[in-house]
Amino acid sequence: MAYLDHAATTPMLAEALDAYTTAARDVGNPSSLHAAGRCARRLVEESRERIAAALNARPSEVVFTSGGTESDNLATKGIFWAQRSASLNRTRVIASAVEHHAVLDAVDWLGTHEGATVDILPVDETGAVDPDALADRLDRYRDEIAVVSVQWANNEVGTIQPIHELARLTAEAGVPFHTDAVQAVGQIPVDFAASGAAAMTLTGHKLGGPVGVGALLLGRDVPCTPLLHGGGQERDVRSGTLDTAGIAAFAVAVEMSVKSQQDYAARVSALRDDLITRVRQVVPDAVYNGATADRLPGNAHFSFPGCEGDALLLLLDAAGVACSTGSACSAGVAQPSHVLIAMGADDDRARSSLRFTLGHTSTIEEVDQLLAALPGTVERARRATAWKTPR
């Protein structure tokens, strides 16, 4: 199979898998005081230090979680609750229109159940937030805003946001800024301290680590009410027994992906550019979505007029090519991509999209396999769509 869905999950690095299996052979709860527990705790703290060093954070700022969804929920809800319960009594939450659903749904829940005023930042046709739009809201509502959340890079179209400028604006206004960097770490340079963010999400399985472990980098001076209560682990912000083996593998993956980021970006972006050129040659009316320059190196996102994205995906899957659509499924009904809709696309364009994402195992042979299958796949999908369209 040609695997072109690395933005969904990417294969574990061999070194991370070795770290996992080595740690998993040993017993010990890192919260226990006996020798086995102390050994597990040592491995957790060494892993915390490795992640902090790779991303220019303090070890005490690394809060381990189960992954990106939990980290996003902890940041948006936890910071909101802390800001609301403080003397500030702030209840406005700002997020961009193209956030991952782990942020958008959490923000929507705060509006429905916790009395938050939800303020959605628009994006331009490439999916980028205009810093002036955020500056305007900060000027008008700075005393009301509990938290601002804008992703570092978009998970669908790969557009990279002006994070440093957005974080600077919020810091000057005295507002906590969270960024979901799940897609960014390992693909582009990410420096937590230099970014100016108060909180940053990352996860293991997007960069060569295991599924089920991630982190929220949380500034030491950023109040955050926990979602989970129990043993008081992780600064009393995230209770729960830590996954020692997963954390060890996660640390190796973060360290290695950050260290090899420049070489990775050069190799993968060359493959991506070849893919883009050849897709445009064999399907001339394909619409390229997202930014051209400020874009993740492994992301190529197209809409194919006259096609249904789900049909394209399944036909390509039958041809041995794995990719993803830009749509979301709710109760078994495909919905158009909220990202493309926010970028100004109509429903037809949003429903006809495919995302091809490359990663550390990607090869030119996989790109060749896609291009061999794509023209016939698009033709068949268009015939199927025409047959279903009422006359």
Angle of CA points 58, 59, 65, to nearest 5°: 120
Residue 282 and residue 205 share a domain:
no
- Residue 13 backbone phi and psi in degrees, to 5: -65, 145
CATH of the domain at 33: 3.40.640.10
Residue 299 lies inside a defined structural domain of this protein: yes
Mean pLDDT of all residues in the chain? 95
Range of the domain at 285: 261-388
Residue 6 lies inside a defined structural domain of this protein: no
Residue 283 and residue 211 share a domain:
no
pLDDT of 330:
43
Q: What is the mean pLDDT of residues 352-356?
A: 96
pLDDT of 335:
81
Which residue, chain included where needed, has tokens 């037809």? 348
CATH of the domain at 332: 3.90.1150.10
Residue 34 and residue 150 share a domain:
yes
For 17-44, what is each residue's pLDDT tens digit?
Answer: 999 999 999 999 999 999 999 999 999 9
Residue 5 lies inside a defined structural domain of this protein: no
For 176-217, what is each residue's pLDDT tens digit?
Answer: 999 999 999 999 999 999 999 999 999 999 999 999 999 999
Residue 284 and residue 255 share a domain:
no
Residue 374 and residue 276 share a domain:
yes
Residue 266 and residue 148 share a domain:
no
The b-or-e profile of 341-352 (16+ CB within 10 A means b, else e) is bbbebeeebbbb
- Residue 338 backbone phi and psi in degrees, to 5: -65, -25
pLDDT of 180:
98
Q: List the catalytic residue out of 224, 307, 323, 329.
A: 329
320 — pLDDT class (breaks 50, 70, 90): very high
285 — pLDDT class (breaks 50, 70, 90): very high
Q: What is the mean pLDDT of residues 239-252?
A: 97
Q: What is the mean pLDDT of residues 217-244?
A: 96
pLDDT of 69:
97
224 in active site: no
Residue 303 and residue 161 share a domain:
no
Which residues does residue 288 pair with via DSSP β-bridges, in sequence order? 302
Residue 275 and residue 183 share a domain:
no
Residue 384 and residue 237 share a domain:
no
pLDDT of 391:
45
Residue 79 and residue 224 share a domain:
yes
Domain-terminating residue out of 221, 236, 259: 259
| DSSP line for 43-82 | HHHHHHHHHHHHHT--GGGEEEESSHHHHHHHHHHHHHHH
Residue 210 and residue 65 share a domain:
yes
What percent of the chain clears pLDDT 70, i.e. is strictly above it? 96
Q: What is the mean pLDDT of residues 260-264?
A: 98
Residue 235 and residue 156 share a domain:
yes
Q: Is the pLDDT of residue 272 over 50?
A: yes
For 51-104, what is each residue's pLDDT tens digit?
Answer: 999 999 999 999 999 999 999 999 999 999 999 987 888 999 999 999 999 999
Domain-terminating residue out of 259, 283, 299: 259
Number of domains present in the structure of the chain: 2
Domain-terminating residue out of 259, 288, 309: 259
